[in-house]
Amino acid sequence: MPAEKKYRKIRPVQLIAVIFFTVSGGPYGLEPLLGYAHEHGALLLLLITPLLWDVPAIFTVLELNSMMPVTGGYYQWVKHALGRRFGFYEGWWTWLYTFADLAIYPVLFIQYATFFFPGIAAYKIPVCLVIVWFSAALNIWGIVPVGRVAVALGAILLVPFLVLFAVFASHHTGGFLLPPPSLKGIDYPSLGLGIYTVMWNCFGWDNVTTYAEEVEKPERSYFVSVLTAFILVMVVYFLVIVTAQLSGINYQTFADEGLPALGMLIGGRWLGAFIAFAGLSSTLGLYIANLLAVSRLPQVMADDEFLPGRLHTLHPRFNTPYISIIVCSALISLMCFWSFGDLIIIDVTVYGAGLFLEYVSLVKMRINEPDRTRPFRIPLSTRWICILLILPVGIYTVALSGVLSSMSEALKPALFAIGALLSGEVVWRLILWRRPHLKV
């Protein structure tokens, strides 16, 4: 009889840091919001979108993960509730969107590094590859080193923003009255892009469940850690957007030059440099944390014969899926040529479809397994859960339709993302052709 796998366990403080970096990594990437939604709509979208998009997702993740805290997380939930076919869709779509998502962070690293080294953009690809493969080595080492690095990077990330808020509050001589919230005057494509911006900065709550067996007391740890991370994320986002609005920064400059430009305006070059350095920490932490999540998925899909069996091979010393980590890193290396804006649209569109399958799984398991133990249970009946889930589906539909109504370059990545979703059925048919026994 094979020996039971023994994992090194991550603790709640480290889990909070890993979740923070999986979902957010700070407000880097939020800068275009003011350009899309302007002073009257930015805070409104920042408040409404997480309520409609994140809160239902968080509750869904907490209930399903309390029932099934297993390696593979959301993939295992969907497969259990909806069957192998939709389980494969969930895993395949997640794999596709995560390649787009992870490719963003090395590119952003270059953007913030140019603050210190203007000529580094000429070496974009070599620098991106160093980040990709350094992170691969750290993930092969194990979840505990990843957790420790995430805690350190989290501290480096948050301190500059505390300084930014303190300097701004002490030197601001005007009032703190904000413009009245309104979406009037925002055209539909800009509204869609503004929602996409907030959605991208606030998604990934389900990704943190793929390594549940490597978490101490996962039922309680996830509940405390997810809620703590959500509050931390929203407080930082809110304060940054308020500071940007009251500072009088040009919104186009803010979108083009990012948060270091805000730091320079408020405190001078030293604060801009401090925030740019934190941006380097943010992108590195985001990449490391998200690679941890996605690398566990091919392992469990390979166990189910949906992907090549070699992907579930564990490292003989560190007990990590090192073949999966290497394969993911190789594919991500090829994605670093894409643009930031296109990757965000592909990322959110494909992710939203997978999240919808998790919502359906929640409802299906409520109906089929009403007596199953749920350490955390959403305090709503199944009927009210169905009504609640209209909210994230609605916000997703508005965002996607807004982008599709645009005749700009945003239309191309949206159509590409739809093609990526349709590829799930094509690959599923190929799998059944090669492995007909999976039909049973």
In a domain, 83, yes or no: yes
pLDDT number for residue 4: 45
Tokens 């395949």 correspond to what residue?
92
Residue at token pair 């249970």: 377
- Whose CA is closest to 21, among 269, 251, 220, 291? 291
Question: Is there a contact between 291 and 328 (Cβ–Cβ < 8 Å)?
Answer: yes
Inside any domain, residue 223: yes
Q: How many structural domains does the chain have?
A: 1
- Give the pLDDT score at 395: 92
The pLDDT value recorded for residue 440 is 57
With respect to residue 349, please indicate whether it lies within any of the assigned structural domains: yes
Instruction: Find out whether 283 and 261 touch, Cβ atoms under 8 Å.
Output: no
pTM passes above 0.85: no
Token couple for 304: 């189910």
Residue 286 Cα distances to 98, 252, 320, angstroms:
12, 25, 19
From first to last of its 440 residues, what are the pLDDT tens digits of the chain?
344 455 556 677 778 877 887 788 788 889 999 999 988 999 999 999 999 998 999 999 889 988 988 777 888 999 999 999 999 999 899 888 888 888 888 888 888 888 898 888 788 888 888 888 888 888 788 766 766 776 677 677 788 999 999 999 998 877 777 888 888 888 888 898 899 899 988 887 887 776 666 777 777 778 888 889 899 899 999 999 999 999 989 999 998 888 999 999 999 999 999 999 988 888 887 787 777 767 777 777 888 888 887 777 878 888 778 888 888 888 888 877 777 778 888 888 898 999 999 999 999 999 999 999 888 899 999 999 999 899 999 999 998 888 777 756 777 888 888 999 999 999 999 999 988 888 75
Q: Is residue 256 part of a domain?
A: yes
**For tokens 């992170």, what's the residue?**
135
Report the half-sphere exposure of 425 (CA within 13 A, side-chain side): 4
Question: With helix as H, strand as E and coil as C, how does 307-358 read?
Answer: CCHHHHCCCCCCCCCHHHHHHHHHHHHHHCCCCHHHHHHHHHHHHHHHHHHH
Q: Decide if 202 is inside a domain.
A: yes
Identify the bridge partners of residue 10 per DSSP, sorted by sequence position.
215
CATH code for the domain of 364: 1.20.1740.10
Residue 2 lies in a domain: no
264 in any annotated domain? yes
Domain that holds residue 340: 12-439
**Looking at residue 3, what is its pLDDT?**
45
CA distances from 181 to 34, 84, 190, 250, 379 (A): 13, 45, 16, 19, 31
Of 242, 16, 288, 13, residue with least CA distance to 134? 288
Q: What is the pLDDT of residue 263?
A: 94
What are the start-end ranges of the H helices in 172-268?
A: 188-200, 218-247, 251-257, 259-267
Domain membership flag for residue 426: yes
